[in-house]
């Protein structure tokens, strides 16, 4: 569970880079990096399930999209909504959905779990896709970003790109730290046991169903938070945000980034969002290039991008004079 020191240095450098980026980057890339960070949170939330609880959910986008839709619903057309109303509505709504979906899904495992989470997500997809009051397949606009005010005075103005950028960056760091704390807690020990050997975890006295369900709710709620940010950022929510494409995309971020590492899926999100943009510039057949990239990573980097970072940083630290690569 301990992050090796060279990797920690790498992460801090990455954080420093993200912190100064709005001063040096073009506005197009600032928007892109925000998207990367939002997907980084989304991917980390899925890593809690896949990489730490052993639950391969193929319907994780349901929570991401649902939170965005809830934001769209509570935002009136006439003006902004207060974040003190919007955020609790989005998170509680998503947590409730995760409770219900998890209640049924978590009883199953393996391929059945994949199927049932996919089925639930597709149900939500069709609900929003067919619902003309919510824009149907075109989606729904979120005309105003929520306000963050205390006693009438604005605390943060999310309409400012700078402010919103740092709001997202803080969210990314806070989500990472929160999950780290969670994973080293007694609860974290139990879910890691479930991933390693569920039958044995149960035989040792843990009612594993409950722990899996709570993990599912936490992961769903965090995905909902990412979806909330996506709604604020993009200003539009469409059924595609809940579809199996989106679930597959975030799953690829987790796997390519390196599951069970937390920071790996964030790197995966950065890589996928960047490559998507880059390949689209090169050719309209960009999905072919993306496919090639996925195959290359799976073949040559079995532990994902995080595995590569791990290798490079331990090589560097050894070259520097045999500093121990583990604390």
Partner 1 sequence: MSETVLTTANLTCNFGALNAVDSVSLEFLRGEIHAIIGPNGAGKTTLINLLSGDLPPTAGQIHFKDKDITRFTSDQVSRAGIGRSYQKTNIFPQFTCFENCWTGAQSREPSSMRFFRPARNLTKVNERTEKALELCGLTHRRGTVASAMSYGEQRQLEIGMMLATEPELLLLDEPLAGMGVEESQQVIGLLRGLALKHTLILIEHDMDAVFSIAEKLTVMENGRVLESGTVEEIRASKAVQEAYLGDGQDE
Q: Around Cβ 287, how many Cβ atoms within 10 Å?
A: 12
Q: Are 83 and 146 in contact (CB under 8 A)?
A: yes
Comparison of 85 and 204: residue with beta carbon closer to partner 1? 204
Taking only Cα atoms into account, the Rg of the chain, rounded to an integer number of angstroms, comes to 20
DSSP secondary structure, 65-82, as one string: HHHHHHHHHHS-SSS--B
Q: Around Cβ 187, how many Cβ atoms within 10 Å?
A: 14
Q: State in angstroms the smallest separation of the CB of 322 from partner 1.
A: 21
Comparison of 218 and 237: residue with beta carbon closer to partner 1? 218
Comparison of 48 and 62: residue with beta carbon closer to partner 1? 48
Comparison of 124 and 217: residue with beta carbon closer to partner 1? 217
Within the chain, how many helices (H) and strands (E) appear? Answer: 12, 4
Comparison of 13 and 177: residue with beta carbon closer to partner 1? 177
Q: Are 83 and 141 in contact (CB under 8 A)?
A: no
Q: Structure tokens of 153? A: 């005075």
Q: State in angstroms the smallest separation of the CB of 140 from partner 1.
A: 34
What residue spans of 133-160 are helical by DSSP H? none
Q: State in angstroms the smallest separation of the CB of 211 from partner 1.
A: 7
Applying CB under 8 A, the residues found at the interface with partner 1 are: 181-182, 184-190, 192-193, 196-197, 199-208, 210-211, 214
Q: State in angstroms the smallest separation of the CB of 323 from partner 1.
A: 20
Q: State in angstroms the smallest separation of the CB of 294 from partner 1.
A: 26
Q: Are 53 and 218 in contact (CB under 8 A)?
A: no
């Amino acid at each position: 569970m301990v992050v090796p020191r060279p990797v920690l240095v790498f992460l801090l450098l990455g954080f420093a880079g993200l912190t100064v980026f709005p001063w040096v980057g073009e506005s197009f890339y600032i928007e892109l990096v925000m998207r990367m960070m939002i997907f980084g949170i989304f991917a980390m939330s899925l890593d809690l399930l896949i990489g730490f609880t052993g639950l391969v959910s193929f319907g994780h986008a349901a929570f991401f999209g649902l939170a965005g839709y809830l934001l769209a619903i509570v935002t009136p057309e006439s003006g902004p909504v207060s974040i003190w109303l919007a955020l609790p509505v989005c998170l509680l709504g998503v947590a409730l959905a995760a409770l219900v979906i998890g209640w049924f899904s978590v009883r199953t495992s393996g391929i059945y779990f994949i199927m049932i989470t996919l089925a639930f997500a597709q149900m939500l997809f069709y609900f929003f896709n067919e619902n003309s009051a919510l824009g149907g397949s075109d989606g729904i606009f979120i005309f105003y970003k929520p306000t963050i005010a205390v006693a009438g005075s604005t605390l943060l103005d999310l309409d400012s790109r700078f402010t919103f950028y740092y709001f997202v960056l803080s969210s990314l760091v806070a989500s990472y730290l929160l999950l780290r704390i969670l994973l080293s807690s007694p609860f974290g020990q139990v879910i890691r046991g479930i991933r390693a050997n569920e039958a044995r975890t149960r035989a040792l006295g843990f009612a594993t169903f409950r722990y899996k369900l709570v993990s599912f709710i936490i992961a769903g709620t965090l995905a909902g938070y990412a979806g909330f940010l996506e709604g604020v950022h993009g200003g539009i929510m469409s059924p595609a945000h809940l579809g199996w494409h989106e679930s597959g995309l975030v799953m690829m971020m987790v796997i390519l980034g390196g599951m069970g590492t937390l920071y790996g899926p964030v790197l995966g999100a950065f890589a996928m969002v960047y490559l998507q943009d880059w390949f689209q510039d090169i050719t309209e057949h960009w999905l072919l290039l993306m496919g090639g990239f996925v195959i290359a990573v799976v073949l040559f980097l079995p532990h994902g991008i995080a595995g590569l970072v791990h290798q490079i940083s331990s090589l560097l630290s050894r070259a520097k004079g045999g500093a121990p690569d583990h604390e």
